[in-house]
Structure 1
Amino acid sequence: MVRVISVDAERFPIAGVFTIARGSKTEAEVVTCTIRDGNHAGRGECVPYRRYGETIEGVVAAIEAVRVALEAGLDRTQLQAVMPAGAARNAIDCALWDLEAKMAGASVARMLRITPAALETAYTLSLAEPEAMATQARANAARPLLKVKLGGENDAARIRAVREAAPGSRLILDANEGWTDDNVAENIATAAALGVALIEQPLPAGRDDKLRHISRPIPICADESVHAAKDIDSLVGLYDAVNIKLDKAGGLTEAIKLRDRAREAGLGVMVGCMVGTSLAMAPAVLLAQGADYVDLDGPLLLARDREPGLVYDGSLVSPPDGALWG
């Protein structure tokens, strides 16, 4: 039977405004790929990311470019060879995982030979002035793990404001490449003095060699500097951990390889996300089993999620039900 492929661009409103060092957004723009084979259908969601030159239109076009091959039966292994890593491949790869599980009458968790459990996820505080970030932190001070978006001037004041407002929470700082050679050491020292647990991508990818030559009292995690398993060797000695995102890796297939290679190299593992719906988070929840840090709060930042969605209990996110994915 010939497969039927559909591609949809969708928008989900964010609760308020989400701001990082590169700009602000009020909605999550996603692309969903659905692959039908007889009575079974698999879905995958991706979030095009302008940081890597991706757009909704470009991702849709990239999926359409392999439509004939997908309809003819292109599988996940073949997909890795015909498409580069990125959002478009992620949507297809996750749809193929979902379809494979449904056709086999099994779950993706069973295919991976894991028994998934609920995970503690970070909750993200949007970049703002110190007082406004303190207000966000105070409202979420009961959460055990907060991720703090930074990358502007006077980040030291932001770190202090958040720490004072949420004294009991562990903190991850995410500069999104926004620090400089002039302030990175000072910001790391401030973070260390305030008991921060982890710092993500303080310097721009490709211009981060300074991290080899400064004191790192806090683990430093690569985000924009890591996409696929092939990147790991260049990060050893430069970073202490990697943030794995399905949209960067180009799907669950490559993300598993990246996770395993990172562990072999002695690096810590974070599993993160773009701002997307529960459909995008679902495969990442399985990937994140056993991760050192989990940042899969995308649906918590939305005003409206998919139905059914993942179940969140405070900062605990449960594994996906088959009606959603996998």
Structure 2
Amino acid sequence: MQVRSFIRELPFIHPFTISKGTKTHQPTFIVELDFNGIKGYGEAPAITYYNIPVEKMEADLNARKQLVEKYAFNGPERYWHYLHHMYPNNGFLVCALDIAAWDIYGKLTRKPLYQLFNADPAKMPMTDYTIGIDSTDKMIEKMQEKPWPIYKIKLGTDRDIAILEALRKHTQVPLRIDANAAWSKEEALEKIQAFASLNVEYVEQPLAKDDWEGMRWLVERSPLPLIADESCVFEQDVTKCDGHFHGINIKLTKCTGITPALRMITEARKRNMKVMLGCMNESTIGSAALVHLAPLADYLDVDGPLLLAEDLATGLHYDFGKVALPEGPGLGITIQPL
């Protein structure tokens, strides 16, 4: 095995604002694994509030590069365990390497990943398109610029209800709300009750990630489903979220890759919880990994390539909310020159 890495800054089409801040570019870390001439690619974007910048991913990889390369590869699951123990404090790096390993495995078996996951293409959910926090007029403008069958609306302001009421005057399609942990429990209940009459599908992460008492109070009163994001990072968090949320949002970068994501989906289903697959503004590389898992989920948020002005690969095709499953082996995408 040989490994190379690349750091890229991908510009957004519009500045991207959530309750935690604004950014104009998405820093992302790309790995290339070469196994006897078969190359696999993986990606992990840097998210400020998780405190793992791309420079740390690069430094940690280089510090133990020989150990990454010397492993006798015979499948991604065992490789993930090897990497997980090698990098216990850098799950983002593990994720990028895990995706690349699955890409190689798919190419070795000559199958697209969704077939290895026993994912039924007939169960492919549509993806939403995200509207970041902005002036109300600008949010309406962004929505009109991108006609779509489902929108994800970022909130976390003192005008959340007014924003949603204004957006509702311009579209009747389902809306999904993401507060990114911005509300108190009383504020959340007031807003969710108002949203219940505005064709909102669910609300994502209304309270602080560790406010378990508040979430239990809220989940018993909410008229809308509540989905965990920041409260559900690793596999063990699925159990903690049961009884506090109606479902979980699995993001490959935060959960450390495809391998644990598959186990999280299984555990959530055992607990009769809804499953959402979410992106962290990945390019087509990381987004393709999510797309192959998508038929196993109820909800899909994989609009990263639509929000970015530049991409690192081709092979994902979006058609008004529908995403076609790539049919090539592995991720089934074509990498642009890095």
Instruction: Name the TM-score, length of structure 1 as normaliser.
Output: 0.93
Which residue of the other structure, out of 82, 89, 113, is the alignment partner of 2:86?
82
Moved more, 251-260 or 189-198: 189-198
Moved more, 113-122 or 152-161: 113-122
The equivalences for 1:148-227 within 5 A come to: 148-167=153-172, 169-214=173-218, 215-227=221-233
Over residues 224-244 of structure 1, what are the superposed CA-to-partner deviations in whole Å (9 max), with x where a residue is unaligned?
Answer: 000122112211111001000
For 2:306, what is the secondary structure of its paired residue? helix
Matched-pair contact (CA < 8 Å) for 1:63–1:89: no
Moved more, 75-84 or 241-250: 75-84
Q: How big is the shift at 1:133?
A: 1.8
For 2:309, what is the secondary structure of its paired residue? coil
Establish whether residue 113 from structure 1 lines up as the match of residue 111 from structure 2.
Answer: no
Partner of 1:50: 48
Which residue of the other structure, out of 238, 249, 254, is the alignment partner of 2:255?
249
Matched-pair contact (CA < 8 Å) for 2:112–2:327: no
Which residue of the other structure, out of 311, 315, 321, is the alignment partner of 1:315?
321
Distance 1:159 1:47 in 2: 29
Runs of 4+ off more than 4 Å: none
For 2:121, what is the secondary structure of its paired residue? coil
Distance 1:283 1:265 in 2: 24
Partner of 2:39: 41
Which residue of the other structure, out of 7, 10, 14, is the alignment partner of 1:9?
7
Q: How big is the shift at 1:188?
A: 0.9
Q: How big is the shift at 1:106?
A: 3.1
Distance 1:47 1:251 in 2: 12
Distance 2:85 2:143 in 1: 44
Distance 1:163 1:65 in 2: 52
Amino acid in structure 2 at the alignment position of 1:31: F
Matched-pair contact (CA < 8 Å) for 2:111–2:329: no
Q: How big is the shift at 1:298?
A: 0.4
Moved more, 259-268 or 75-84: 75-84
Q: How big is the shift at 1:115?
A: 4.5
The equivalences for 1:131-142 within 5 A come to: 131-140=137-146, 142=147
Identify unmatched segments of 5+ residues in structure 2.
Answer: 73-78, 333-338
Distance 1:229 1:76 in 2: 14
Amino acid in structure 2 at the alignment position of 1:30: T
Distance 1:12 1:323 in 2: 26
Indicate how the Cα distance of structure 1 residues 197 and 16 shifts in structure 2: closer, same or farther if over 3 A, else same.
Answer: same
For 1:44, what is the secondary structure of its paired residue? strand
Distance 1:15 1:289 in 2: 28
Distance 2:81 2:106 in 1: 15
Q: How big is the shift at 1:135?
A: 2.5
Matched-pair contact (CA < 8 Å) for 1:276–1:298: yes
Indicate how the Cα distance of structure 1 residues 312 and 103 shifts in structure 2: closer, same or farther if over 3 A, else same.
Answer: same
Matched-pair contact (CA < 8 Å) for 1:173–1:198: yes
Indicate how the Cα distance of structure 1 residues 292 and 105 shifts in structure 2: closer, same or farther if over 3 A, else same.
Answer: closer
Over residues 78-115 of structure 1, what are the superposed CA-to-partner deviations in whole Å (9 max), with x where a residue is unaligned?
Answer: 22333336311110000111112223333323322334
Distance 2:189 2:276 in 1: 23
Indicate how the Cα distance of structure 1 residues 131 and 324 shifts in structure 2: closer, same or farther if over 3 A, else same.
Answer: farther
Q: How big is the shift at 1:324?
A: 8.0
Over residues 262-302 of structure 1, what are the superposed CA-to-partner deviations in whole Å (9 max), with x where a residue is unaligned?
Answer: 11111101000011211011111111213111000000101
Which residue of the other structure, out of 71, 74, 92, is the alignment partner of 2:97?
92
* Identical-pair percentage: 31
Which residue of the other structure, out of 59, 62, 74, is the alignment partner of 1:61?
59
Q: How big is the shift at 1:321?
A: 4.6
Matched-pair contact (CA < 8 Å) for 2:104–2:330: no
Amino acid in structure 1 at the alignment position of 2:155: L
For 2:200, what is the secondary structure of its paired residue? coil
Identify unmatched segments of 5+ residues in structure 1.
Answer: none
